[in-house]
Amino acid sequence: MQETDLGMMDAGQLTALFQSGEASPLEATRASLARIERFNDAVNAYVYVDHEGAEQAAKASARRWGQGKPLSPIDGVPVSMKDLTEVAGMPARDGSLTTSDAPCESDAPPARMLREAGAIFLGKTNTPEFGWKAVTDNRVFGATYNPWDTRLTPGGSSGGAAAAAALNMGVLHQGGDSGGSIRIPAAFTGVFGFKPTFGWTPQWPPATEPTLSHIGPLTRNVPDAARMLNVIGRYDYHDPYATRGQPDDWGVDLDCDLRGLRIAYSPDLGYAQVDPQIAARVREAAEKLQALGAEVEEIHPGFESPIEIFQKIWFTASLEVWSRSTEHERTLLDPGLVTNARIAERWSALDFFRALESRARLTQRLEHFNQKYHLLMTPSVSVSPFEANHEVPPGSGMRDWEEWAPFSYPFNLSQQPAASVPCGFTDTGMPVGFQLAGGKFDDVRVLRACHAFMQAYPPRFPTVPDPAQTG
């Protein structure tokens, strides 16, 4: 048998080897665990690793493949779960000192679906407290670091999942996105991240602000994301916001080219300030998409910054966390979360109602825009990764993460599908990503365009991070 590095393979490659008998899920799982052992001290992506449980599940998967009876096309594939997601037998600390190490008694929908598909749970990945900010650090586990430069943040709130994906510490990585929490860390670490249409990937218990939250994959390629979505992208009655209509095969159009796709390219949405190197890489990506056959037109969708709309809703979610906490628990919360909660205390019910009304108008505007253009292209993030343990770039004068991530949360407000695609590097060697957003329920078309670009311009991934840089 030809020597192969199972730890570097994607899900399609692994399951082909499982089927042929050239490799087993146990070998693949041990390869992923070895990569966690090798890399995790440098980046702190995983906050819980279940060696024994993973090996036991992998042995069971190997028996199924040996009998020719795999549970699904991802049976035996190693996966990680974000620490905001409940997985039976594992703790869910939510990055908070107000929680405990007690193992969860049941699976959240994405965990149950992946378990029933035979996926191998490696462990839980790091997140900020209750996922409240777009960087990844907390008082329980500390900061997660960027594999490209371990002095810097990988973004958040799915920063642990993104760092794990960049280093292939596991193959499929579950994230959550309420304001950019999949797309932001995907851009900062140079991987693919996808936020599906709201309600197509169910969750329960609900997120802190359930009408903004989308469950989705972070992977090294689009086909792996589609493979994961074929499992977690199914209706589940436990989630009261879950909707039906998901594609039978999320990857059905991945082999299609870009001819006929109309893409609106907006370098700044008409109001955002973007780092010049990021702007240049994204403009080059727009030209590449056009060369691949898409019709690309530079145009703005025509709405003002919705930062106040988002903050009215998002800060109120922090207030809800604050309000349900005991006096002692309040002393344990992230100070930034507390600050936002106290700001929200000053707002009235009418302020919140008007924010919801404005959200509806924004959604209407974007859906109308998508009647003329299939996709809207922007940068994923307006800045490069900055120092870890900071919410905003030091010295920038910014106060909140929403100021440096203006491109992501509009599509949480509108509940549309959106992805971050790696498209090169800055002069300092840090990844850049562009965003593609589609109309509601047009997820397959978003995935098709992302795959076409990544096939033509394959990303590269970081080498071994140096633990001596960490901190």
From CA 41, how far away is CA 466, in angstroms rounded?
Answer: 10
What token pair was written down for 223?
Answer: 């086909």
Of 142, 143, 189, 141, the C-alpha closest to 162 is 189
Catalytic, 82? Answer yes
What token pair was written down for 205?
Answer: 């218990």
Length of the chain: 471
What token pair was written down for 422?
Answer: 């790696």
Cα distances (Å, whole numbers) of residue 161 to 26, 123, 156, 189: 22, 11, 9, 10
Catalytic, 396? Answer no
- Identify whether the C-beta of residue 126 lies closer than 8 Å to the C-beta of residue 40: no
From CA 267, how far away is CA 297, in angstroms rounded?
Answer: 11
- Identify whether the C-beta of residue 289 lies closer than 8 Å to the C-beta of residue 263: yes
Of 121, 119, 147, 172, the C-alpha closest to 9 is 172
From CA 105, how far away is CA 90, in angstroms rounded?
Answer: 8
Of 11, 31, 18, 120, the C-alpha closest to 64 is 18
Which residues lie across from 123 on neighbouring strands? 49, 80
Count other Cβ atoms within 10 Å, centred on residue 349.
7
Q: Which residues contact 147 (CB under 8 A, 6 or more apart)?
A: 39, 42, 43, 154, 163, 166, 167, 189, 462, 465
From CA 436, how far away is CA 453, in angstroms rounded?
Answer: 11
From CA 206, how far away is CA 241, in angstroms rounded?
Answer: 9
From the candidates 24, 61, 80, 82, give the one annotated as an active-site residue. 82
From the candidates 24, 96, 157, 384, give the one annotated as an active-site residue. 157
From the candidates 32, 178, 181, 213, give the one annotated as an active-site residue. 181
Q: Which residues contact 327 (CB under 8 A, 6 or more apart)?
A: none
From CA 99, how far away is CA 92, in angstroms rounded?
Answer: 8
Active-site residues, by number, are 82, 157, 181
